[in-house]
Copies of this chain bind each other. A is one copy, B any other.
């Protein structure tokens, strides 16, 4: 169950730097490539001639050339040319709306005519010299909603990530869940605690005292179809929390763009934008490496959970207060999917 008339992160620019790239998104097999004026294009990864994968071809004059028999595909899904052939009567393939924005390439896997570029989300940390970004991509063998659940409840940090960002105070603090239109926010505040290893390190990087007691915050925000951004940080006690001056805090935003591949597999784009010492590229690399190690622990847990759920279909799970963020996010997805199906039915009628 996923929305299709919406924007998902499809890939990063480096993945199509040298040649086209094929990726399945929401069940659609899509070829991504740089077309005319270097603009990213996306068409169905299926040559209408004999079914070859267009993504195995190459780009010439801004068009995607099928690597099998040379059919030239336009970025609108209409064949442009083919050696010794008239392509006027050739069937078209699907084209997909696609937008490049701040080092991500976004795709609208549903009806391209309904795509609205103004709906591509934008963020405070993008193209902002006060922030630095590092991230990566995992292929995870689970329903994408299990990853949303995971991120909307950070209680698991205490257990899964004991050596880095976990600390007992997390699950001793109550979690608040709020629904704001189609968004869900879960938040947790800890006061007068000692920062865990990662945040001590971050304070130090920011020139702040790593040994003083802090307030720690975690705010996870789900936005449809499946983005979770988590504002996290620590500030010296009584200095204003997230709004404290730089020398008294360390703050990051965890970025999670979660793109369904199929019903049970997911492309998970993860990263961290940090608001401290943004010029230090070596630091970006180190944090990314550590971040990757931490997130891989989650991948093992998520894939085992998926296998368990598949082996126990229909078994009821608990919905506790800590699960409320994930539960509310699923409700919003379900409502929007139903709405999309009704719109599709209305268009078809």
CA distance in complex: A57, B309 (Å) = 17
- Whether, in the assembled complex, A83 has its beta carbon less than 8 Å from a beta carbon of chain B, the answer is yes
Tell me if B155 and A69 are in contact (CB < 8 A). Answer: yes
Binds B, one of A209-217, A276-284, A317-325, A330-338: A317-325
A69-B149 contact given A49-B318, A84-B322, A312-B51, CB 8 Å threshold: no
Tell me if B309 and A171 are in contact (CB < 8 A). Answer: no
Nearest chain B CB to A171 CB, angstrom units: 4
CA distance in complex: A155, B83 (Å) = 9
CA distance in complex: A309, B52 (Å) = 8
What's the dominant secondary structure at chain A's contact region?
Answer: loop
Nearest chain B CB to A313 CB, angstrom units: 11
A86's nearest neighbour on chain B, judged by CB, is B320
- Residues in B whose Cβ lies below 8 Å from that of A49: 317-318, 320, 323
A318's nearest neighbour on chain B, judged by CB, is B49
- Whether, in the assembled complex, A115 has its beta carbon less than 8 Å from a beta carbon of chain B, the answer is no
Tell me if A68 and B156 are in contact (CB < 8 A). Answer: yes
Tell me if B305 and A65 are in contact (CB < 8 A). Answer: no
Contact with B along A35-53 (1 / 0, CB 8 A): 0000000000110111111
- Residues in B whose Cβ lies below 8 Å from that of A155: 69-70, 83
**Count, chain A residues at interface, CB 8 A:** 50
Nearest chain B CB to A216 CB, angstrom units: 16
CA distance in complex: A305, B304 (Å) = 31
A66's nearest neighbour on chain B, judged by CB, is B159
- Residues in B whose Cβ lies below 8 Å from that of A57: 159
Looking at the complex, which one of B46, B149, B158 makes contact with A50 (CB distance below 8 Å)?
A: B149
Cβ contacts A to B, 26 pairs, < 8 Å: A29-B308, A46-B315, A49-B318, A49-B320, A50-B317, A51-B305, A52-B304, A53-B304, A56-B300, A67-B159, A67-B301, A68-B159, A68-B301, A69-B155, A69-B156, A69-B159, A69-B171, A69-B322, A70-B158, A82-B320, A83-B155, A83-B158, A83-B171, A84-B171, A85-B321, A90-B318
Nearest 6 A-B pairs (CB), nearest first? A83-B171, A53-B304, A51-B308, A51-B309, A49-B318, A52-B305
